[in-house]
Amino acid sequence: MALKVTTSCLEDSLSLFGFYKKMTEKAIEQLSDEELFATLDEEMNSIAVIVKHMAGNMRSRWTDFLISDGEKPARNRDQEFEAPPATREALLKLWEEGWACLFSALEPLSDADLSCTITIRGEPHSVVQAIHRQLAHYPYHCGQIVFLAKHFRGREWKSLSIPRGKSTTYNERVAKGEASQR
C-alpha cells in the first residue's frame, strides 16, 4: 500500500479498508473454486464462510449506521457460518455488496462526523470507535483468508507483499525511490 501522509482519520481508514479488500481479493484470485469452499478440519471455516460472515457483518454495521443500531434485528450471525453461496460468482457478489455498504456509508462522511455517537449492540460508540472496531475485525478475517489461500496454494503461492528472500532487493528499490515504504 502506498503511503499517503494524512491527518484525516477518515481518509486513512478508507485507505486501509481498501488495502485489505484488495489484498484479500488478490489471495482469492489465486484459488480454485474448490479451495474457496475447503476446510482444514471440521472446526475450521472455509474462505467462503468467512466471506459470508464478513459481508453479513458489513451489511449490519454500515447500513443506516448513523441512525440505527449496527446490529440489525434481521441479522442472524450464526447463519453466516453455515451454507455459503454455492459458486465463486455468488460469493464474490456477496463480498462486493458487503464492501459497498461500508464504502457508501463512510465515503460521504467528513471528519466532523467522527465524533457523532452511534450504537452497536445497544452500546454507544463514536463513529471513529466504530471504524476502529471494524479495522480490527475485518483485517483479522482478511488475514485468515490470506493464510488459508497461501496454505492451499503452497509452492504456487504468489506473494502479496515482499516475497521471501527478496527484502534486500526491495530495500534497495525503496532507497532509490522505486518502491513504496509502506
**Domains of the chain and any CATH numbers:** 9-175 (1.20.120.450)
Confidence (pTM):
0.88
Q: What is the pLDDT of residues 12-67, one digit of tens each?
A: 999 999 999 999 999 999 999 999 999 999 999 999 999 999 999 999 999 999 99
Q: Which amino acid is at 40?
A: L
Helix (H, G, I), strand (E, B) or coil at 26: helix
Cα separation, 56 vs 76, in Å, equals 8
Would the pLDDT of 182 be above 50? no
pLDDT at residue number 8: 86
